[in-house]
Structure 1
Amino acid sequence: MDSWKTPARSCCPSCAYRMTPEVSSKSPQDFPSVVVVGLGKKNAGVNGQENWNEDKENIRAAVAVGCRQIQDLEIPCVEVDPCGDAQAAAEGAVLGLHEYNELKQKKKPVVTPQLHGSAGSEAWQKGVIYAEGQNLARYLMEAPANYITPIKFAEYIEQKLGNFASNVKVHIRPESWIATQQMGAFLSVAKGSAEPPIFLEIHYLGGANANDSPLVFVGKGVTFDSGGISLKPSSGMDAMRADMGGAATVCSAIVTAAALNLPLNIIGLAPLCENMPSGKANKPGDVVRAKNGKTIQVDNTDAEGRLLLADALCYAHNFNARAIVNAATLTGAMDVALGSAATGVFTNSSWLWNHLYEASIVTGDRVWRMPLFEHYTKQVTDCPLADLSNIGKYSRAGGACTAAAFLKEFVTAPHWAHLDIAGVMANKDEVPYLRKGMAGRPTRTLVEFAARLSQDSPNPK
């Protein structure tokens, strides 16, 4: 094969080696443990059918598999050949070794991946930072709901941003502040739980001027979603600890942007609460009022994420944003439509779509554009008791699209995108460099998008 790739000698050793005369001339003692991995077709480049860079994906997958083999041998350190793309190799190593075992007495041995040699060291470090960002989101999404409550989520992110205090401000807004902001839709969801809601607001000031228009990220932060009075089936409900995946990914993206010192301003907004049944919970047919004054008939209390986002999106318009991007594990319909292959993107801006799409090709964490037709808007505005219903009048038909149409009613910004990440919330075995569990997607795509935006004109047309 013309694509065998080489690891390199390791401090306690491990890695794959290119099958070349140079390697074969070494003595076996130089390489106590070696993993050889195949990288597929050489110079495969961007695959237009798959919408990703095949070389980068092959490297991520191969390095992840190799590092896991080393972990199984209980070798604590592995040196990784850059494989022609040190950033992708680092991402594969760091993502592939991650596993949530915080609460187990018996843990897998910790393996530290390092770059073999000095060539590509900056790209390697960049890849480590990207991957650690996604792993942060995976950690938050995987942790049990009694460990990651709204306040604990906010405090954990605040702690992670503590190293960047010079250009980061974190505001953990309590319920009283939320009430003064007239976020009635958000509060209506939160009132069913004994856990108080939190509105997390992050300001990363990386731009040359603190007054430069920011990129605004908004993430749905339901730290546990029972469905409320419209109760979910008990089977699989434990996975709803990750219903704050939108908040986890956007906050992790900001932590990563700060670590990379990206030269742009970013604001992160995360409405955090639980959706629980109780005597105070929303009831089907209740009408609540959002921050912009629009009334919403709550026909299904399990369509709660859009209520949080409605108020957060209204608030996002206070910042004269370059673009507003929200992420949410919003609809099961998105999982039905695309499965785990890609995040569904609904946007009113082709400029914004192009940036997200180009970023996803690089990261391999793909996006796919979905429709925002007026056809769907009519299905949420045709409501007997209020301005809007929180579900489409044809119930499940086009559910991801009607949810996006609902959100659009709270957006006036010219560059807005809604990312429905329900389908990519968890990984079974689809992404070879992620273990089974919560996926933390699309954190790296958000980071790459922000990095590309930082090189763009601050005032898109």
Structure 2
Amino acid sequence: MYRGGKLLLSNRNLGNILTRASRGACNDVSGIVVGAYTKNENSVELLADGACINEETNGSLMKQLTIGHAIKQNETRIFWNLHEKYPAICVVGLGQQDKKDPFAHLEAINSEKENIRNAAAVGCQALTNHGIMNIKCGNLNDYEAAAEGAILSSWVYQEFKNAADLKKLPTLTIDSSPENQNSFKRGVIKANAQNFARMLMETPANHLTPTIFASKVINELSPLGISVTGHDQSWIAEQKMNSFLSVTQGSAQPPIFLELNYSKNSNSSKCFALVGKGVTFDSGGISIKPSAKMDEMRADMGGAACVVATMKAIAEMNVNVNVKAFIPLCENLPSATATKPGDVFIAKNGKSIAVDNTDAEGRLILADALCYASEQCPEWIVDVATLTGAMGIAVGDGATGVFSNCDNLWKELHEASIITGDRVWRFPLWRHYKDFLTKKSSYDLNNIGIGTKGGGACVAAAFLREFVPENIKWMHLDIAGVMSGSCGKYLKDGMSGRPTRTLIQFIEQISQKC
């Protein structure tokens, strides 16, 4: 269990109760979050839990709620001492029920689910701000979305805080009827998985070297029945992963190649593959980055974090599927032994690569990982990487950028992202971008391209395409733009763990169609 809190299902009533491990929460006063839809300018409708409480208070809750204007979407109002069991009642506005947005199709998001995530988040936060640390999140019409919003919004990374300065964390409970237990449990698992990815991404690089990262993965995933193998530098060299090794030369920390295997569907020989970029710190190497915000490059293993978190979740959800994951782990640092701009290396598939910019290292380690993953003959490969600053410029933190050689694979991921609220957007994977990589006659590929006029994310994706056989369905997720920043009301500033929930939903959907 990591400091900062992890939400767990109570063994006493599995699937019905959500408990947060907390520090310093000593307030015994209980609060509840209930939802209310606006019917018109002066009328509201309380959802089930709120309606029940209103009846138990002889209508006092509704009387106070309807004083003044009707409660607005994501607005919170706290009412005190109306109810014996819940002295603090937080009503959160869910907006106007059944209101049609003519532009909803352009948003590429399930607005009802996202609305509930936000409502659960702002409601829990409002009570916490008033010192209420025992909180029940009532039924907001979608148990999975409510669990996600409540859990994601309450998480905080404070591993290295002095004990006296630790933020108090709430204990959250959500009761659900038996028919809603699965929905609720999925929300808990998905949100916990994303928080696990956030924890890995926030951890300082000196506390999460490749070796430590591998150790954490073994400790977290092995008990779930996932096979975890950590290959050392000699194995990597035997595999002729020279592109990967070129990035590792400047660091004293040895590289590791992680191989994960989740085998649940014994009736199928099909296997899916995930590949995650695992640069545990990226200084840029000899092509060193500016010092401003370089500390954020502790999260340059965000792709690896999301892949590990996804594997964790599908195992906990017992998804009937076979998935392998491949994670090259290393640091990218300058030193007397570091790769120099202009050096040429031969990748696992025999292609020569001129490294003109050592800060374009992610594609170098992914190249060999994609080759190795392809050798396992998977049904498809999805790689996840904080690959290019260009993606952040293109879409900011609004969506993960996606490149794919398979329309159906893209459509499945896009559908999953609409459900989770963690959106994706497709970019072109044209041969036009490959031309910039192959202009020189003295080697096969240049790692950044020659003569490019923007389109850095597209050029990077074109580079990766050179290491995936044409007969394998493949999708590349550039998560550089969504690595950090807030999202809705339920994700605060900091490392985001995105798009973990979308990956989980994606694999779950595909498993149901196999």
Instruction: Quote the Cα distance in structure 2 between the aligned partners of 1:43 and 1:448.
Output: 26
Matched, 1:29 2:29: no
1:46-445 to 2 correspondences below 5 Å: 47-105=104-162, 106-118=165-177, 120-165=180-225, 168-209=226-267, 212-395=269-452, 397-412=454-469, 413-427=471-485, 429-445=486-502
The answer on whether the counterparts of 1:98 and 1:435 sit within 8 Å (CA) in structure 2 is no
Q: Which amino acid aligns with 1:13?
A: G
Q: Which amino acid aligns with 1:155?
A: S
User: How many equivalent pairs are there?
Assistant: 444
Instruction: Quote the Cα distance in structure 2 between the aligned partners of 1:274 and 1:44.
Output: 50
User: CA separation of 1:131/1:146 partners in 2, compared to 1, >3 Å: closer, same or farther?
Assistant: same
The answer on whether the counterparts of 2:35 and 2:140 sit within 8 Å (CA) in structure 1 is no
- After superposition, the C-alpha distances for 1:30-83 in whole angstroms (9 at most, x for unaligned) are 321111111223246893111000001011011111112222233332111121
Instruction: Quote the Cα distance in structure 2 between the aligned partners of 1:217 and 1:43.
Output: 39
1:12 Cα deviation after fit: 2.4
Instruction: Quote the Cα distance in structure 1 between the aligned partners of 2:292 and 2:207.
Output: 21
The answer on whether the counterparts of 1:222 and 1:273 sit within 8 Å (CA) in structure 2 is yes
Matched, 1:16 2:34: yes
- Larger CA deviation: 38-47 vs 197-206: 38-47
Instruction: Quote the Cα distance in structure 2 between the aligned partners of 1:261 and 1:397.
Output: 43
Q: 2:94 aligns with which of 33, 39, 46?
A: 39
SS in 2 for 1:344: strand
User: CA separation of 1:386/1:436 partners in 2, compared to 1, >3 Å: closer, same or farther?
Assistant: same
Q: Which amino acid aligns with 2:55?
A: S
1:17 Cα deviation after fit: 4.7
Instruction: Quote the Cα distance in structure 2 between the aligned partners of 1:76 and 1:378.
Output: 58
Q: Which amino acid aligns with 1:433?
A: Y
SS in 1 for 2:88: coil
The answer on whether the counterparts of 2:121 and 2:490 sit within 8 Å (CA) in structure 1 is yes
SS in 2 for 1:302: coil
- Larger CA deviation: 448-457 vs 269-278: 448-457
SS in 1 for 2:348: coil
User: What TM-score does the superposition give when structure 1 sets the normalisation length?
Assistant: 0.93
- After superposition, the C-alpha distances for 1:103-132 in whole angstroms (9 at most, x for unaligned) are 101212122222134262221111000000
Percent identity between matched residues is 49
Instruction: Quote the Cα distance in structure 2 between the aligned partners of 1:386 and 1:253.
Output: 37
SS in 2 for 1:417: strand
Q: Which amino acid aligns with 1:145?
A: A
Instruction: Quote the Cα distance in structure 2 between the aligned partners of 1:158 and 1:355.
Output: 30
Unpaired runs of 5+ residues, structure 1, are 1-9
Matched, 1:454 2:511: yes
Instruction: Quote the Cα distance in structure 2 between the aligned partners of 1:396 and 1:71.
Output: 49
Q: Which amino acid aligns with 1:107?
A: L
User: CA separation of 1:405/1:112 partners in 2, compared to 1, >3 Å: closer, same or farther?
Assistant: same
Q: Which amino acid aligns with 2:97?
A: K
User: CA separation of 1:118/1:291 partners in 2, compared to 1, >3 Å: closer, same or farther?
Assistant: same
Instruction: Quote the Cα distance in structure 2 between the aligned partners of 1:431 and 1:386.
Output: 46
- After superposition, the C-alpha distances for 1:269-307 in whole angstroms (9 at most, x for unaligned) are 110000000011110000011000100000000000000
User: CA separation of 1:44/1:196 partners in 2, compared to 1, >3 Å: closer, same or farther?
Assistant: farther
| Greater radius of gyration (CA) | 2
User: CA separation of 1:23/1:29 partners in 2, compared to 1, >3 Å: closer, same or farther?
Assistant: closer
- After superposition, the C-alpha distances for 1:134-178 in whole angstroms (9 at most, x for unaligned) are 01110000110011111111111111113213xx21001111111
The answer on whether the counterparts of 1:213 and 1:319 sit within 8 Å (CA) in structure 2 is no
Q: Which amino acid aligns with 1:40?
A: G
Instruction: Quote the Cα distance in structure 1 between the aligned partners of 2:244 and 2:293.
Output: 25
SS in 2 for 1:287: strand
Q: Which amino acid aligns with 1:372?
A: L
Q: Which amino acid aligns with 1:161?
A: L
* Aligned position for 1:6: none
Instruction: Quote the Cα distance in structure 2 between the aligned partners of 1:243 and 1:344.
Output: 16
The answer on whether the counterparts of 1:192 and 1:281 sit within 8 Å (CA) in structure 2 is yes
- After superposition, the C-alpha distances for 1:420-458 in whole angstroms (9 at most, x for unaligned) are 00000001x44321011000000000000000110123x
SS in 2 for 1:36: strand
The answer on whether the counterparts of 1:222 and 1:275 sit within 8 Å (CA) in structure 2 is yes
Q: Which amino acid aligns with 1:16?
A: V
Q: Which amino acid aligns with 1:112?
A: T
RMSD: 1.7
Instruction: Quote the Cα distance in structure 1 between the aligned partners of 2:241 and 2:361.
Output: 14
1:395 Cα deviation after fit: 4.4
User: What TM-score does the superposition give when structure 2 sets the normalisation length?
Assistant: 0.84
Unpaired runs of 5+ residues, structure 2, are 1-27, 37-44, 58-81
SS in 2 for 1:170: strand
Instruction: Quote the Cα distance in structure 1 between the aligned partners of 2:495 and 2:509.
Output: 26
SS in 2 for 1:310: helix
SS in 1 for 2:89: coil
The answer on whether the counterparts of 1:217 and 1:266 sit within 8 Å (CA) in structure 2 is yes
Instruction: Quote the Cα distance in structure 2 between the aligned partners of 1:421 and 1:196.
Output: 25
Instruction: Quote the Cα distance in structure 2 between the aligned partners of 1:223 and 1:392.
Output: 25
User: CA separation of 1:34/1:383 partners in 2, compared to 1, >3 Å: closer, same or farther?
Assistant: farther
Q: Which amino acid aligns with 1:418?
A: H
